[in-house]
Amino acid sequence: MKSTPSKPSIVFCHGLWADGSCFSKVIVPLQAEGYECIAAQYGLNSTAEDVALTKATIGRVSSPVILVGHSYGGSVITGAGSDDRVAGLVYICALAPDADESSQTQQSNFPRTPVFSHIDVKDGRIWLLPDGIDDFAGDLTEQEKKLVLATQGVPKPDLFEAKVGGTAWKSKPSWYIVGKKDRTVHPDLERFFAKRMGATTYELDSSHVPMLSQPERVIDVIHAAAKAVQEAAAA
């Protein structure tokens, strides 16, 4: 009889207008439970660089790994998740392009979300304007919204156009959180991605950032992924 496998490590991949600190409400409780956690702090300069940095980050923790990607971070884990050390994928209101798609391809097939009326493309970067914060994180407190704006990552405009270099969701088990009140990535697009990948799907009454507004629910999904990975390793 096999011994019970150790808990998987968890690597977090942030989206646009964010960095790894957006997962702080999830990381701290998981660490307290004994999970090894790390956030990939990439620069939003190119998808290839972000995927490469994520693969390097995977090398800093023990295998097997669960990749958790939020928003554009879903594109990143779709590329990086083909790594043999990755055992599962958790998508949070996230993009999940196929091999011939970019982060932008599928978004153009669904209604434009309100947040993109509140951005400023300047100095080679896409900035989220203060009047767009309610479309990005409308279910946070006013203090938390100000913090999100003050710490926003600022992507390059062509980040949306690059291929991600892999389609991990075709070969790895996946879990998907749909934000039913998302005004950044269209909820129907999220449902499309979840259905296409055959993900175990959860729908939350949340904005685009449920890991900040409903961290306990996000932790529940990560728990489900971790349990499945452990059971698969024990089989």
Q: What is the pLDDT of residues 151-186, one digit of tens each?
A: 999 999 988 888 888 899 999 999 999 999 999 999
Look at 32-36, 73-77, 191-195, 231-235 and tell me which has the smallest mean pLDDT: 231-235
Share of the chain above pLDDT 90, in %: 86
Whether the model clears a pTM of 0.85, i.e. scores above it, the answer is yes
Alpha helices in 81-181 (DSSP H): 133-137, 142-150
How far is Cα 94 from Cα 73, in angstroms, rounded to an integer? 7
Average pLDDT value for the chain: 94
Confidence of residue 4 (pLDDT cuts 50, 70, 90): low
Average pLDDT for residues 40-68, to the nearest whole number? Answer: 96
| Helix, coil or strand: residue 129 | coil
According to DSSP, residue 72 is labeled T
Q: Report how far Cα 202 is from the mean position of its chain's Cα atoms.
A: 14
How far is Cα 75 from Cα 188, in angstroms, rounded to an integer? 17
Look at 79-93, 108-122, 132-146, 184-198 and tell me which has the smallest mean pLDDT: 108-122
The per-residue pLDDT for 189 is 96
How far is Cα 193 from Cα 206, in angstroms, rounded to an integer? 18
Q: Report how far Cα 13 is from the mean position of its chain's Cα atoms.
A: 5
- What are the phi and psi torsion angles at 76 (to 5°)? -65, -45
The per-residue pLDDT for 110 is 87
Look at 2-6, 124-128, 153-157, 214-218 and tell me which has the smallest mean pLDDT: 2-6
What's the pLDDT tens digit per position in 137-154? 999 999 999 999 999 999
What's the pLDDT tens digit per position in 206-230? 999 999 999 999 999 999 999 999 9
CA dihedral 73, 75, 77, 80 (to 10 degrees): -130
Confidence of residue 1 (pLDDT cuts 50, 70, 90): very low
Look at 27-31, 107-111, 127-131 and tell me which has the smallest mean pLDDT: 107-111
Answer whether residue 5 shows pLDDT above 80: no
The per-residue pLDDT for 159 is 87
| Helix, coil or strand: residue 136 | helix
Domain segments of the chain as ranges: 9-234
Answer whether residue 66 shows pLDDT above 80: yes
Confidence of residue 3 (pLDDT cuts 50, 70, 90): low
Query: Half-sphere exposure of residue 101, counting CA atoms within 13 Å on the CB side?
Result: 17
Q: Which fold has domain 9-234?
A: Rossmann fold (3.40.50)
How far is Cα 23 from Cα 70, in angstroms, rounded to an integer? 9
Between residues 104 and 96, the one the model is more confident about: 96
